Amino acid sequence: MTDSDPDTIIRIAAKGDGVTADGRHFPLTAPGDRIAADGSVVFGVHHVEPPCVHFPACGGCQIQQLDDESYADFVTGRVAGALAGQGLTPGAVLPPHISPPMTRRRASLRAARSGKRVTIGFAEEGSHKLIDLDMCSVLDPTLFALIAPLRGLLATILPDKRAAHVRMSLVDQGVDLLLEGVSVQGLAADEALGDFARGHGLARLTIDEGDGAQTRWEPEAVTVSFGGVPVGFPPFAFLQATPDGEAALVGAVRDAMPESGAIADLFAGLGTFALALGEGRPVYAGEGARDAISALKLAGARAQRRMVADHRDLFRRPLTPEELNRFAAVVLDPPRAGAKEQVLQLAASTVPVIAYVSCNPASFARDAVHLAAAGYRLDSVTPVGQFRWTTHVELVGIFRR
């Protein structure tokens, strides 16, 4: 049996299905598996026992049947395949960074109450049915430890037959917890919130009953730190999924930066790159979310950074070539849809180095076409698998003139 055998799984497609040599798709397979004549799967050497009892029903993971080698190949293949689909070949595809199990520091779960029973978890794949988590192979244990006690709290503040969102983040002070869709009625419910926050040492507890977020517990101002600078953290603001994943992205960008000169950080968020890269050099940080850029501006001022924090919608009002040409390098980290409007302006600029951080290989590749057509060369791409065992892949692409 070889990879040319039409019944052998030779790769994993973008949505997680195994693909045979003759192009058929089979879910929950791994490279080297063979499809028998009766349609059953004969496992190969890359097919492993999933580490979580909830797989594959839980929608939190899609490809736990892959061994580490195959998962790393999948992450790399997603990036290389997206670029090849646009006719692009990078100078180098660097080794992928894969986050370890149980390191996810940010999660959005759903909760539902039926009578006295409260279910908390991820939805089944392609369904609204919740999987009640009694283990999780991706969440940081500190976050997972709150799930069981949260069932008790939500039994008092979540109306029957109703659902809520449970949003958790690990911050400098511990766990930041946001509960959306709850109803806090009466003294007992109010006291239950305080007791829960104190008893579990929360950094902050925020609730949203449908009319906006209200902080109910915050002993000290909640922050996250980038480059050693603490930044005020709005409830469930954007944060890279794992600390090591963030470090891998920052490291790949830092390695591409020139030794001197001002840099621009576009779609800067709370300053993941602006603060990590900006010690001792001027930085322009542009961001459309007012609460994020306000927190970054205050943090930069306190740390006496040479930074301009600009509240700017980069989709409607991207930086122009004249503005961009002042910078020795530009970093951009846009949402999943990419940054076509800003990329077209970059393509017309003379910026020597562009570090594009992407959470969507497909939109990255579409944007990269515009830069390549304008004379930029794609020196390297670094694939990053922060969302272990999922089909979500990130990357850093370095462009140079």
Active site positions, annotated: 359
Candidates 71, 386, 136; CA nearest to 248 is 386
Distance CA 278, CA 282 (A): 7
Q: Is 388 helix (H, G, I), strand (E, B) or coil?
A: coil
Dihedral (CA of 390, 141, 226, 277) sign: negative
Distance CA 254, CA 194 (A): 43
Q: Indicate the DSSP class of residue 45.
A: T
Distance CA 380, CA 396 (A): 8
Distance CA 110, CA 186 (A): 24
User: Is the CB of residue 97 less than 8 Å from the CB of residue 383?
Assistant: yes
Tally of CA atoms within 13 A in the half-sphere of 122 that contains its CB: 20
Q: Which residues contact 119 (CB under 8 A, 6 or more apart)?
A: 111, 112, 113, 130, 132
User: Is the CB of residue 254 less than 8 Å from the CB of residue 275?
Assistant: no
Give the β-pairing of 353-358 and 329-332: parallel
Candidates 223, 225, 193; CA nearest to 209 is 193
Region of 142 (left: φ > 0; alpha: ψ -120 to 50; beta: rest) is alpha
- Phi, psi torsion values for 395, nearest 5 degrees: -165, 165
